[in-house]
């Protein structure tokens, strides 16, 4: 079951991005957050809920709507001809370095291997290291440090070896 604080944090993340919809499934519960109108309804349902715990929670907050719904299709960007695109696996904040003031993990022209960490994406106070996935050279960094990124958003282009 989702905690109210987690739901509020996710709503803030969705509200601060151009993302129109976010769906998460965890421990038998599914949460879908959408931005179609100016009111929010949060509905959290679970398959295995005890009789003492209500199955549906509704909370009114301006700006975002979240409801239980079927899984949304994910559109992945198509990479340019021979270039590999590293995309964000989640919604969060992009960081180019392990700490403020530290050197960036990679920059344009950097050589990378499959397991080379290229950036960190912070989501709900968790720092997630993102790896290059391919061996090659960074052709372009597509986002700026501290920028909010969406699921599937291109972060880097790599010229594979």
Residue 9 domain flag = yes
Determine contact, residues 104/32, Cβ cutoff 8 Å. Answer: no
Confidence band of 36 (pLDDT split at 50, 70, 90): low
Residue 74 domain flag = no
Residue 75 domain flag = no
Determine contact, residues 95/155, Cβ cutoff 8 Å. Answer: no
**Residue 16: predicted pLDDT:** 77
- For residues 53 and 92, membership in a common domain is answered with no
8 pLDDT more than 50: yes
Confidence band of 20 (pLDDT split at 50, 70, 90): confident
Range of the domain at 47: 4-66
Residues sharing a CB contact under 8 Å with residue 148, sequence separation 6 or more, in sequence order: 13, 16, 17, 91, 92, 93, 94
Residues sharing a CB contact under 8 Å with residue 24, sequence separation 6 or more, in sequence order: 2, 10, 30, 31
Residues 120-151 pLDDT 10s: 999 988 999 999 999 999 999 999 999 999 99
Mean pLDDT of the chain: 76
Residue 114 domain flag = yes
Residue 71 domain flag = no
- For residues 54 and 120, membership in a common domain is answered with no
CA dihedral sign, ordered 82, 86, 87, 93: negative
Domain total for the chain? 2
- How many other C-beta atoms lie within 10 A of the C-beta of residue 70? 8
- For residues 16 and 49, membership in a common domain is answered with yes
**Residue 91: predicted pLDDT:** 94
Q: Average pLDDT for residues 62-79, to the nearest whole number?
A: 46
Closest CA to 147 of 96, 110, 103: 96
- For residues 10 and 51, membership in a common domain is answered with yes
Q: Average pLDDT for residues 148-160, to the nearest whole number?
A: 94
């Amino acid at each position: 079951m989702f905690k109210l604080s987690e739901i509020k944090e996710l709503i803030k993340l969705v509200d601060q991005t151009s993302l129109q919809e976010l769906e998460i499934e965890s421990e038998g519960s599914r949460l879908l957050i959408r931005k179609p109108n100016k009111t929010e309804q949060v509905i959290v349902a679970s398959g295995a809920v005890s009789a003492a715990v209500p199955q549906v929670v509704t909370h009114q907050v301006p700006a975002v709507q979240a409801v239980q719904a079927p899984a949304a299709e994910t559109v992945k960007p198509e990479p340019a001809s021979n270039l590999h695109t590293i995309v964000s696996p989640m919604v969060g904040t992009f960081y180019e370095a392990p700490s403020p003031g530290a050197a960036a993990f990679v920059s344009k022209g950097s050589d990378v291997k499959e397991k080379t960490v290229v950036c960190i994406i912070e989501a709900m106070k968790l720092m997630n290291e993102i790896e290059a996935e391919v061996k090659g050279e960074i052709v372009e960094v597509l986002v700026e440090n501290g920028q909010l990124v969406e699921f599937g958003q291109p972060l880097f282009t790599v010229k594979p070896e």
